[in-house]
Structure formats: C-alpha cells, structure tokens
Amino acid sequence: MSARARPKKPVALVSMPTLGARSPSFQLALLKPTLERAGIELQPFSLFVYFGRHIGWQLNEVLANVYPCMAGEWLWSKAAFGDFADDEAYLAYYERNFREICREAGCTLGDLRRVRERATFEFINEMVESVDWSRFSLIGFSVVFQQMVATLAMAKALKRKHPHIPIVLGGATFEDDIALQVIQASPDVDFVHCGDGDASFPELVKRLHAGRSMTGLPGLMWRDGDRIVYAGRAPNLEDLNQTPTPDFDEYFYARSHTGYGASPAAEPLILPIETARGCWYGAKNHCTFCGLNRAGLDFRAKSPDRVLEMLKALSRRYDFHHFNAIDNILAPEYVTELFGKLAEAHTDLKLHYEIRPNLTRAQLKMMRRGGLFSVQPGVESLSTHVLGLMKKHTTGVKNLELLKWTTYYGIDNLYNILTGFPGETREDYRLQADVIRQIPHLQPPYAIVQARPDRGSPMYEAPHKHSISRLEPSECYRYIFPPERFDLRKVAYYFEHTVLNILPDEDYDECYVRVADWQARWKEEPKPFLRYRKSWDALTLEDGRGAQVVKHALADRAAKLYELCAEARRKEDLVAKLGDEAWVSQTLASLVEAELVILLDGKYLALALPENPDH
C-alpha cells in the first residue's frame, strides 16, 4: 500500500454476525477509549445486533451458538465466496445439528436456506448503503468466534464501493498462521493485526494518517504490492493498568434502537470486563486440550484496586451490576484483595470468573459474599488418573469438593467432563460413574464430550505425542471456505481426529447415561437433595436422592465425625482428632455404605449439604 498522507478522518470499527445480541463486543468497547486517548476518533458498529433484528432475535441467538456444523459461519459463505460447495451434502452430514437448531429457533430448514440465500445479501447491502463509510479513513473488523466469513463478505462489499479505504482485521482469532492464510486468500483485506493492539493499533492509524510506511510495525501483516509483509506479532501488553475503562455506549444504543432489549427473546445481559490476560497455570502446565492464548500465554493482571475502579465506573455509568470477566483464569490475589473488599462493601455486584478448582470452602464463601455468582472451573473429570493425563494437576476429590461447595453457596458452576485421553482405563470411568450415581444433589456438568485437539493445543501441536494418528480439519470447513482459495489446515480451528490407546465407546456409555439422567433430574422440581440439620450435638440427615426420602440420625461423636468430613480428610487425620481408630474405621465404613460419605483418592468427604444457608 502506498505511503501517502490521508485526511485525519475517524476510524470505523465493526463487529459482524454471527454473534448473540445478548452481550456487547468487548473489543469494540476497549478500543474506542484506547484510540481516543491517542487523539483518534473511533466509531464502533455492533452490526451483529442489527442482524438479529434482520432475521429475528430467537433465530439469531440460536445461530450464535457454536455447533459442530458452524452454521453461523456457513450462512455467510455464499455472500463471501459465491457458490462453491454442495449445500445438500453439508446439510445431510450435519442433519442432527440442524434438527436441533430448528427446534431451538422455532424455524424450518427452509427458513435457514432463505437466510443464507437472501437475508445475508440483503443485510450486507443495507449496511453498506445505510452508512456513509466514505467519512472514515480506515475500516477495522474485530473477529472472534463465528465472525470470520461475515467479516470477509462485508469487506468485499465495502471494497467494491470504497476501494481506496483500507480494511484491517484483528481480534483473538488471528494467530500468525490463520492471519497469513486469510490475508493471502482475501484480496479485499489490506491489513491483519496479530497480538495485543493497545499500542500498535493506534500507531497503525497514526502512520496511515501521516502517510508513513507500515514497515517494522509489530503485529501488522500487510500488503505491499504483491508481497505480504510482517514484522512479527505485537508484544504482550505487560501493564494492564494502562488499559482504559471500556465504553459500551454504542452497544446500549444498538440494543435499544433495534428493540432487542424489549424483545421476549432477549437474554439477561452480562457486561464483559477484562481484568487479566494469559494463563498463569497454562504457562507452567499447558492443559493438553487447551488451544487458548497460544502466543499470549504469559499472565498479566490489573491491580485489584484498578479493577474496583473499573467496576465502580461501569456500574455508575450504566446502572448495571452483572459482569463477565473474559479472563482465562482468575488472578490469585483477587480472592482476598478484590472479593474481600467487595464482600466488606456489601455491594450487589455479580461477577463471573474462570477459576482453578482449588478454592477452599472458606474462600468460596467469602467470594460469594463478594459477588461471585458464576464460575467456569475446568473440572473436566472426577478421576485423578484422567486428570493427570490432561496435566490438570488436581484430583477427583478436590473437584468433587468444589462441586459440593459451589452448589451449597449457589454459585453457578459451568463445568464439563471430558473423555478420550490416551492411557485412561475402564476403572477410571467405572469410578466416575459410581461417583456420579451418588451426587445427583450437586450441580451437573453442562456436557460430557470427547476432548478435541483445537488449534494451538498440545494435542494439536504434537499429535503423535498424544497418540493422535489422524488430524483433519472438521468436515464443515470445506463447505465454509473454498478449498481452492484457502488451505483448510491453516484456517481451521476445530479438527477431527483419531486417537489411539483410548477406550472403546461402550466403556464410556455408563458415564454418558448417568450424566444425561443427572441433567434431566436437575430440570425437575423438587431437585434431588441430601441435606442435614444440626442441633447442639446431633445431625438429622434427609436423603432425597432416590424415589423415597430416607432420614438418618447422627449424634455425639458420629455427628462430630461427619462434620469433620465436610472437607475431604484422610482417616489418619480423623483418628488424630477423635482417637479410637477402630470406632472411626467402623463409623466411616457405615457412612460410606449408606452413601452419606464418599471415599475417593484415599479421603473421606461428607456428601450432605447443610440446610442452614449461612453454615
């Protein structure tokens, strides 16, 4: 691209479909004040919200979910690339996915065909014609999840009408390999940005306005005639305290202007915030299946005081109190220094975080008082052996303790169970099936699925080390990207694989069936329960896990023993506290037989939850 000065016009930053209207684009919200601090005017466009109005809110929210067929990308492939694939073969291959989509959205396959054949084209044309794009010096697109193909379709349409306006793509999608493939195959894209854009994106705009070359600008992949030039990924921003408070004004306008906020299909809003980048655990022990972070794995976090300032500013500005931390992992110091202060202040703020499953009962109690209402803890298994194969460095009983106390404190626990790791045994899944059978009163996982070798994961980077004999881009990609233009191995994030040294499918069946039953029972009222009430020195347990409620009474030493097992303990620790090893052994055996206590990893854990909500 020639280096000639351009008028200092505003910059447009666009977030395309297919994305749920229920939540703002954090990237748009952060980059707006970032550029403004550098003296650059930026206009964000949450076009994913407007597409929801165009096709119907319920359908849009369902299509925004990431199914194996990646329907949210496929819908745009004709608008982006024309006819190149056999749609009927694609729909047949993913028939089960599309039945589910149609059921959830209340639509027909014909409706989805019309969205692909007409609605996407109409939307692109409307967006190109209804905005005066000529007033911008640069049009940027933030790309995450299922936004790639819609972005390329919009870029193509904008280039037709405004061929001299540079177009830049960026966002979490663009690691170096995907970025290079996209810019090589997409002549309408002038720049792709890789890495943290806090410093390099404003510098890109300044150079563009001044007519300076992009040579040597970290993070920028760009066209120089027929060459693709790249100075390497932008360095990680080390001091996150430098980042401004995000600005969600445009999203709230779009939410109101389109009518989504008043729609019966609108889902509860949770504002995204960022308090850390990278993963302190993954930097030491990269989970075998995790493809997140890649080059940005090094952990950096805002100070707890800076997080509090941001929460205060956002809650005041928008009169809103629910926040989703998009961090990959909770900074350890936040446990006391952030949530402790929030608990002391008695706020009504609510926060979601991804956590390690190593928080204690006391920490969870305090964090719940401080507003922790939802966690994604990376439980993944209740077998210590399988967890070791994943490099999770935790235990089954530790994970079970977390399920117990998040259920008790009313913290929504968004975990899953993964299968399919080389070296696992039948006993691993017999054990898990038996544990699951005993805990229908604890919150179930949202899924049990085979682990995937996502791009960037150790399973992907070193397949033979993980007994993977076949690694192919998921079937959906050849219906989404033209194979003659795109190397699917270089643009795919999801892969199909064959892994050796794992169990036959039938050895997982019992766990799958028990999880399905567990999930179904939690949708019923009353839910299964196992609880106890305490008098001065006695416990009354009520067991509602089965068809009939069964009561148990424990008094004196037995009651004390049961309460000591509230956290998992070894028998020798219990004997040290209570003495009389024979009595302790006999009592524990009877409690385990009654399935009121579970013995897992050599530790005894009481399964009943206190009825007292403040226990």
> How many C-beta neighbours within 10 Å does residue 268 have?
7
Q: Which of 5-14, 262-271, 277-286, 402-411 has the lowest mean pLDDT?
A: 277-286
Tens digit of pLDDT for each residue in 54-98?
A: 999 999 999 999 999 999 999 999 999 999 999 999 999 999 999
Q: Which of 7-11, 12-16, 113-117, 219-223 has the lowest mean pLDDT?
A: 7-11
Return the amino acid letter for 24.
P
3-state SS class at 384: helix
Tens digit of pLDDT for each residue in 177-201?
A: 999 999 999 999 999 999 999 999 9
| Residues 458, 290: Cα–Cα separation, whole Å | 7
Q: Are 473 and 489 in contact (CB under 8 A)?
A: yes
- Cα-Cα-Cα-Cα dihedral of 284, 287, 291, 296, to 10°? -10
> How many C-beta neighbours within 10 Å does residue 331 have?
22
Indicate the burial class of 191 (C-beta count within 10 angstroms; 0-12, 13-18, 19 or more): buried
Output the six-digit token pair for 244: 């401004």
Q: Are 550 and 543 in contact (CB under 8 A)?
A: yes
Task: List CB contacts of 523: < 8 A, sequence separation 6 or more.
Answer: none
Output the six-digit token pair for 102: 């149609």
Q: What is the pLDDT of residue 259?
A: 96
Tens digit of pLDDT for each residue in 453-484?
A: 999 999 999 999 999 999 999 999 999 999 99
Q: How far is CA 486 from CA 200, 382, 477, 478, 483, in A?
A: 27, 41, 10, 9, 5
Q: What is the pLDDT of residue 287?
A: 85
* Helices H / strands E in the chain, number of each: 27, 24
pTM value? Answer: 0.94
